[in-house]
Amino acid sequence: MNTQPQDLDFNNRLASYAVIDAVSRGRRYPEPPPSYRSEFQRDRDRIIHAAAFRRLEYKTQVFVNHEGDLFRTRLTHSIEVAQIARSIARALHLNEDLTEAIALAHDLGHTPFGHAGQDALNACMQDYGGFEHNLQSLRVVDELEEKYADFPGLNLSFETREGILKHCSTKNAADLGDVGERFLNKLQPNLEAQLTNLADEIAYNCHDVDDGLRAELISIEQLRAVPLFNEQYDEVRRLYPDLSQRRVIHEVVRRLINCQVVDLVQTSNERLARQAPADLQAVRNQTQPLIAFSDGMRERNLALKRFLRQHLYRHYRVHRMSVKALRVIRDLFTAFFDDPRLLPEEAQHKVSELSEQAGKRGRARAVADYIAGMTDRYAIKEHQRVYNPGELT
């Protein structure tokens, strides 16, 4: 029996090409429809209550968690992406709940120590299928979360799962079943997934500027060489000549976000009007994404990315963290792969189970699952426990 009130319309005011419950491809394990919420609200709620989501609080974005209380973590980043993505979805008359679910889940598979940790774990896994955080995020929601009696993982809707998987090689896609099909058939994902991908870019570029300035790894003088930043900085200084430096930075960053969101909405509306997709399948059949920046904004965005790559991500203090991350991840992987008895009992069972299924490749995957699920501080502590003679437990 459907217990949703008649006046509770989750699809009110959505465009014909938005994802709604009625066109969803459903879940891997069929379930009765939820009461008083949409299918994608259910997805969002399951993600928020997942252990992997809580662990994002102590996973690095750029700066290791213990370096300061005000720097972004994977958790705060995911929340900020969700806020930006929901605003865009509302402006484009797309499904906000689906958009939020994708945004909150997109980094669930990230390792400790940010991209440095991912690169280190990928190097360890080169002979065993590699490691990629997008695929790991899907693995988390499909298999690794163990909460429900009737199914493994979170049993999310197909459309949420396809949004988590932003890119994928043909080789990997062939092994992924339903969510891998679009990479094999050269189809586009739903518009909610497209916009969340770009909201992620907006969030991490702008907030890395904020964190980089706060950490004094980059300066306003350096950033003024970046047109996108300098336009907003000049405007803020003109309007508020006596504003404190901290508030100037906040004003500039919020304007950086806003100008990109406005450009994205306007450009996407123009593309949607021009292509006029009748429904979701028409969106999938497009040769190019319909959610996009204008050419001018895309170029300015790339200039900001290049600046951050050169001056922030390659800064010697960030590089030092990357080298430490490489050592910690590599050492833990080697120790646990060579002697799984060093692992906690539950993880040992996983190693045994996957080893029986796929030999050394399965053992490596189970070890990678365990390490990828660690927070920064837990990884550091585990390294001390395994390698420091003074740490016996």
> Cα angle vertex 316, ends 312, 320, to 5°?
110
Tens of pLDDT, residue by residue over 212-261, are: 998 889 999 999 999 999 999 999 999 999 999 999 999 999 999 999 99
Q: Which two tokens stand for residue 140?
A: 């988390």
pTM score, whole prediction? 0.93
Tens of pLDDT, residue by residue over 259-314, are: 999 999 999 999 999 999 999 999 999 999 999 999 999 999 999 999 999 999 88
Q: What is the per-residue pLDDT for 69?
A: 47
The pLDDT-based confidence of 391 (bands split at 50, 70, 90) is: low
Q: What is the per-residue pLDDT for 388?
A: 85
Q: What is the per-residue pLDDT for 6?
A: 40
- The fold of 37-318 is Hypothetical protein af1432 (1.10.3210)
The pLDDT-based confidence of 9 (bands split at 50, 70, 90) is: low
Tens of pLDDT, residue by residue over 163-203, are: 999 888 888 888 898 999 999 999 999 999 999 999 999 99
Sorted by where each begins, the domain ranges of the chain are: 37-318, 319-387
Q: How many CA atoms lie less than 13 Å away from 344 in the CB half-sphere?
A: 7
Which is nearest to 183 in space by CA: 358, 326, 193? Answer: 193
Cα gap 201→207, rounded to integer Å: 10
Coil, strand or helix at 116: helix
Cα gap 268→191, rounded to integer Å: 10
Q: What's the helix, strand, coil split of the chain in %, to 5? A: 65, 0, 35
Q: What is the per-residue pLDDT for 10?
A: 56
Which is nearest to 99 in space by CA: 34, 145, 162? Answer: 162
Counting DSSP H helices and E strands in the chain, the numbers are: 18, 0
Coil, strand or helix at 54: helix
Average pLDDT over residues 363-380: 95
